[in-house]
């Protein structure tokens, strides 16, 4: 529909049956481990772009500037429902959640009930907190990991959404999204540019657009959708917007994927990780837990480590 509206050439890339060996080949090309499975589809799309042109436009920055992530809505709902409860009660629940196994449904939500999180958005640990890192890595020293102070980014931010979007803009966008796209595109000799990251547009989004025009409990990217209505086809379905991800949880139910990853992570050459901890995480995934991104991230690290002959200290 969009291609017809703008008279552009539309190309479809089918990747439903992505071969596991192809994923290993892609990971081996990375110059640093990237804990984000969307690097795989980004690489595949970049490979397709290479067949047609050398410069492409991307949408990076749009979610951080205009409130496009679904978890912003989740956080607003969480704050609305639980912020009236006593801090001592919320803190007790948040501390209890730390005892629950990784990937258990509801664990992440309970962790976010930390009163410090609800009050000023304490950055959550999405994959591994210090306790789990301590269980995973042999010879782990807490002093090796420094907790970054983000207060300077949100000192003058009174609204909850203003705080979370600014933190994502200064941390998640450059350290994950842009790094991932840069590596995946340049590995295919494609230069990707991000129009949303024009200086004037960034300043306009943060200084002139009210937070209620970005996201609420029912909708996201509100301002951007209003601005696009005069351009996009009248029947365009805005709700189809989704993250650029792969069906990782589904693929890990396939023997080729799970056995291949398990063999790599549980091999004797992976002497730096606790094998019992890894085994339990993989078994929990088979039993319905949500550890697919964690397992994939560790898999990427181990492939990268072996490919570059990097030794554990």
Q: What is the pLDDT of residues 248-261, one digit of tens each?
A: 899 999 999 999 99
User: Using 50, 70 and 90 to split pLDDT, how confident is the model at 116?
Assistant: low
Distance CA 35, CA 242 (A): 19
> Which residues lie below 8 Å from residue 263, measured CB to CB, with a gap of 6+?
none
Structure tokens, 29: 């090309």
Longest dimension (CA), the chain: 59
pTM, whole model, 2 decimals? 0.86
Summarize pLDDT for 127-153 with one digit per residue, the tens.
Answer: 887 778 888 987 777 666 665 666 666
User: Using 50, 70 and 90 to split pLDDT, how confident is the model at 33?
Assistant: very high
Q: Delineate the domains of the chain, giving CATH numbers in brackets.
A: 11-67+187-240 (3.40.50.620), 70-166 (no CATH), 248-307 (no CATH)
User: Using 50, 70 and 90 to split pLDDT, how confident is the model at 49?
Assistant: very high
221: left (phi over 0), alpha (psi -120 to 50) or beta: left
Q: What is the dihedral of CA 213, 217, 218, 224, to 10 degrees?
A: 30
């Amino acid at each position: 529909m969009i291609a017809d509206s703008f008279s552009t050439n539309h190309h479809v890339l089918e990747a439903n049956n992505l071969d596991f060996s192809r994923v290993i080949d892609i990971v081996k090309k990375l110059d640093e481990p990237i804990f984000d499975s969307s690097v795989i589809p980004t690489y595949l799309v970049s490979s397709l772009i290479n067949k047609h042109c050398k410069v492409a436009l991307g949408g990076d920055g749009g979610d951080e500037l205009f409130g496009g992530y679904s978890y912003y809505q989740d956080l607003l709902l969480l704050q609305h429902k639980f912020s009236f409860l006593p801090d001592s009660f919320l803190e007790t629940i948040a501390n209890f959640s730390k005892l629950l196994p990784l990937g258990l449904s509801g664990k992440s939500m309970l962790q976010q009930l930390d009163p410090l999180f609800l009050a000023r958005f304490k950055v959550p640990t999405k994959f591994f907190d210090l306790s789990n890192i301590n269980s995973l890595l042999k010879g782990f020293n807490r002093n090796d990991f420094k907790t970054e102070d983000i207060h300077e980014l949100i000192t003058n931010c009174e609204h909850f959404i203003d705080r979370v979007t600014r933190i994502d803009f200064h941390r998640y966008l450059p350290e994950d999204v842009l790094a991932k796209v840069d590596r995946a595109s340049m590995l295919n000799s494609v230069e990707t540019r991000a129009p949303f990251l024009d200086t004037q547009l960034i300043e306009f989004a943060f200084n002139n657009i009210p937070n209620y025009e970005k996201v609420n409990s029912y909708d996201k990217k509100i301002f951007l959708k209003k601005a696009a209505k005069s351009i996009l086809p009248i029947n365009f379905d805005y709700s189809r917007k989704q993250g650029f991800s792969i069906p990782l949880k589904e693929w890990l139910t396939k023997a080729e994927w799970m056995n291949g990853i398990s063999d790599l992570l549980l091999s004797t050459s992976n002497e730096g990780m606790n094998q019992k901890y890894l085994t339990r995480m993989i078994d929990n995934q088979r039993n319905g837990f949500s550890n697919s991104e964690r397992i994939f991230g560790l898999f990427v690290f181990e492939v990268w480590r072996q490919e570059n002959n990097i030794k554990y200290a």
